[in-house]
Structure 1
Amino acid sequence: MCNNFRRITGIILYGGIEMKSIWKKTIVLVSLLSLAFFMSTCSKKEAPSTSARPTYVFKVATAGQPGDSLDSSLKLFLKLVNERTNGAVTGEVYAASQLGNHRDYIDGLQMGSLQVAEITAAVLSTVAPKFSIFDLPYISRSPQALYDILDGEAGDILTKHIMDVAQIRTIGWMVRTPRHVYSAKGPINTVADFRNLKIRTMESAPMLKAMTLFNAKATPIPTAERYMALQTGVVEAAENNVAEIYNCKEFEVTKYLSKTAHLVTPNIICIGTKFLESLPADYQQIIIEAGREAGAFGTQFEINGEKDFEEKLVSEGKMIVNEVPDKSSFTGVLAPLYAEYTPTIGQDLITLFQKQ
């Protein structure tokens, strides 16, 4: 009986040991599975935070009118940036000086309250003196020739200059068609016709000096105030390209268009350097490339539309257009202006421009 008891007891004890081993293995297996599930869950939760990209809303400013070359170029810029950042950058173009004048745009870019703006070379020259080169009459031969040099070494020099002195970067050159004189007083054929002419110019020291050499009475007036100044007789004339004259309806307050073609200048797509450098590196590259494409688009927009706008000024605006084939009387008095600004601009940059 005792032997039977020992045999039975041994089976029970052995079975107990076997059962304990099975439970231990089960507990270990369950623990490992739980740990794996927990790690998998944590991994899934963390993934979005590591892959998420910041989003931005750009304010883009222009003094241009809705649908013109400036407005259209900046809308293309935003479209390209939006597409290439997969929707991370959105924004709006504020046309017709809604966000102020070009001087205000410089302040906004430097302070960061404005992300992108188009600004005339004349206004940029007030903070970056080398940009005065654009306001030397007859320094540029044609819109396409000017765009070509700005898309190369000359543009690189100017971009570095304004980044160094004003913390603004140029990202696109929108070269406008030639600027002519339009007036309520009479046509311009030679420099003698400028005598005592009250003319609106851009905010540009070289242009004011040039008009002094032409014996005109020049007054710098912001774009948004130009029509009223012409209408009220504060000035008798202004100078601009045919697209701008038509889009701003200034044929209503002037009569004569004289094709002096004294300036070919760009409106420049700009961004604040601090803001640009705060963006992801790939976004920075996208913005720079989109700005270049938008500038090229705006330049061709202007070139392609020049003849049509001139015809509209005649047919709709009843303007009288006179060609000015001989410009020697204008260029003949400008030597002192070039001599004065060569030290500021640099002979190297002037030489590049004169190769057009």
Structure 2
Amino acid sequence: MTLTRRQVLKYGTFATAGATLFGGHSLFSPRAMAANTLVGVTYLPPSYKALTYGSQGFVDFLAENGGDTLAVDFHDSGQLLKADEQLPALRAGNIDFMFHTSSYITRSLPILGITGLPGVVGELYRHPERLAMGSPLLELINEQLAEDNLYMPTAGGGILEPEYIWSTEGSLIRSLADLQGKKVRVVSYEATLALEKYGIGATRIPSSETYMALQRGTVDAGVFNISTVIGRSLHEQLDTCYKLPTTAFTVAPFMLRDRWDRLDDDTRGILERAAQWYDENFISHCNDDIYPNEYWPQVEAEGVEVIEPSDEDIATFNEGADAIWTAWKEDVGEEVGERAIALALGEA
């Protein structure tokens, strides 16, 4: 029987199947001249122009600077692993690094919830330096990730513009009161908790299926970052954007902590420089260039109405975030949670 790369990853243990069937790393490593060949993945397709700018730039940096030290075998668009398969594959050692959306994995890695915590994301968005490489907040995140043998060398230099509430013509949402009874596509656990109190029916749907879900009325609305709206052409099905900063996320590279620690100095140095490039360029490129100059004009050209939330709605939503903070701190530990929130808000 001939096994594909995807079948080996999904159904077998790579270390055993790879060595037995293909000889060491050869399944993934046609470029055997380099001392290290790292296998990396992202489920995001190139249609997510903003979000894949960083991961492709990171991989290109490694390719251009790896020389005889480092080669990369990188797979985008979920060609090797789907979104929900990436973290298990990394933990099993089947891949060497992954780029993942933080909001997808906060239940597995609760400390990443700080990147999407309601009432906090606005401050983190306005102050990206609080999540930069070398910042106390990123160091705290990695202290917690290390307990799961994971390492995030960079968060990308901050978080992306917050996710807002987008709705269809037949189910317009212009205020918090309009959420009552609406079927809303939500991904992050934190946003789900924040909005359920307003009477929504929360539904988790993969971004690839969201266009049809909106078109068929399976959902009335969704909590989206503008990258998802443009990357999946959702603006063709949407009528309003209620610009309430609901939650947020970043897309970051992850490795196993012990794998990182075992790297030789030259390989680790190249990765650190790639991470520095990513930190300095990814978030700023999205938030300061592509979003305002390309994506939001596309939304406006489609005729989507952008509605600014009232001061009353902002205050009400942020007051309700206290319960979400409490639940999150129970997951990460009171002391860690308090410290992370203080660092994110610039209070420590």
TM-score clears 0.5: yes
CA distance in 2, matches of 1:289, 1:97: 26
TM superposition shift of 1:53: 5.8
- Per-residue CA shift, 1:119-144, capped at 9, x if unaligned? 12223322222222233212122565
**TM-score normalised by length of structure 1:** 0.77
Structure with greater proportional helix content = 1
TM superposition shift of 1:153: 0.5
Q: Counterpart in 1 of 2:146?
A: 163
CA distance in 2, matches of 1:311, 1:354: 30
TM superposition shift of 1:278: 4.0
Q: Which amino acid aligns with 1:75?
A: Q
CA distance in 2, matches of 1:230, 1:195: 18
User: Helix, strand or coil: the match of 1:333?
Assistant: helix
TM superposition shift of 1:68: 1.3
Q: Which amino acid aligns with 2:345?
A: Q
Q: Counterpart in 1 of 2:209?
A: 225
CA distance in 1, matches of 2:125, 2:103: 19
CA distance in 2, matches of 1:228, 1:89: 42
CA distance in 2, matches of 1:310, 1:231: 21
Q: Counterpart in 1 of 2:225?
A: 241
Matched, 1:194 2:195: no
* Residue of 277, 286, 292 corresponding to 2:276: 292
**TM-score normalised by length of structure 2:** 0.79
* Residue of 307, 329, 347 corresponding to 1:342: 329
Structure 1 unaligned regions, length at least 5? 1-51
Identity %: 17
Contact 1:70 1:118 in 2 (8 A): no
CA distance in 1, matches of 2:252, 2:55: 11
TM superposition shift of 1:265: 2.2
Question: What is the root-mean-square deviation of aligned Cα atoms in Å?
Answer: 2.3
Matched, 1:328 2:319: no
Q: Which amino acid aligns with 1:206?
A: E
CA distance in 1, matches of 2:125, 2:180: 32
TM superposition shift of 1:180: 0.8
Matched, 1:355 2:346: yes
Matched, 1:138 2:119: yes
Of 150-159 and 96-105, more deviation after overlay is shown by: 96-105
Query: How many equivalent pairs are there?
Result: 302
User: Helix, strand or coil: the match of 1:334?
Assistant: helix
* Residue of 34, 40, 47 corresponding to 1:59: 40
Query: Are residues 67 and 232 of structure 1, via their aligned partners in 2, closer, same or farther at CA, if it must alter by over 3 Å?
Result: closer
* Residue of 104, 111, 134 corresponding to 2:85: 104
Q: Counterpart in 1 of 2:299?
A: 313
TM superposition shift of 1:242: 1.7
TM superposition shift of 1:66: 4.1
CA distance in 2, matches of 1:64, 1:155: 27
Contact 2:40 2:95 in 1 (8 A): yes
Query: Are residues 190 and 142 of structure 1, via their aligned partners in 2, closer, same or farther at CA, if it must alter by over 3 Å?
Result: same
Q: Which amino acid aligns with 2:300?
A: V
Matched, 1:115 2:100: no
Contact 2:98 2:255 in 1 (8 A): yes
TM superposition shift of 1:264: 3.2
CA distance in 2, matches of 1:101, 1:192: 36
User: Helix, strand or coil: the match of 1:182?
Assistant: strand
User: Helix, strand or coil: the match of 2:155?
Assistant: strand
CA distance in 1, matches of 2:221, 2:77: 21
Matched, 1:212 2:203: no
Query: Are residues 295 and 97 of structure 1, via their aligned partners in 2, closer, same or farther at CA, if it must alter by over 3 Å?
Result: farther
Query: Are residues 90 and 292 of structure 1, via their aligned partners in 2, closer, same or farther at CA, if it must alter by over 3 Å?
Result: same
CA distance in 2, matches of 1:72, 1:170: 18
Larger radius of gyration: 1
User: Helix, strand or coil: the match of 1:301?
Assistant: helix
* Residue of 242, 245, 248 corresponding to 1:264: 248
Contact 1:214 1:330 in 2 (8 A): no
Q: Which amino acid aligns with 2:270?
A: I
Matched, 1:172 2:154: yes
TM superposition shift of 1:87: 4.8
TM superposition shift of 1:193: 1.2
Query: Are residues 58 and 273 of structure 1, via their aligned partners in 2, closer, same or farther at CA, if it must alter by over 3 Å?
Result: same
TM superposition shift of 1:250: 0.7
TM superposition shift of 1:96: 3.0
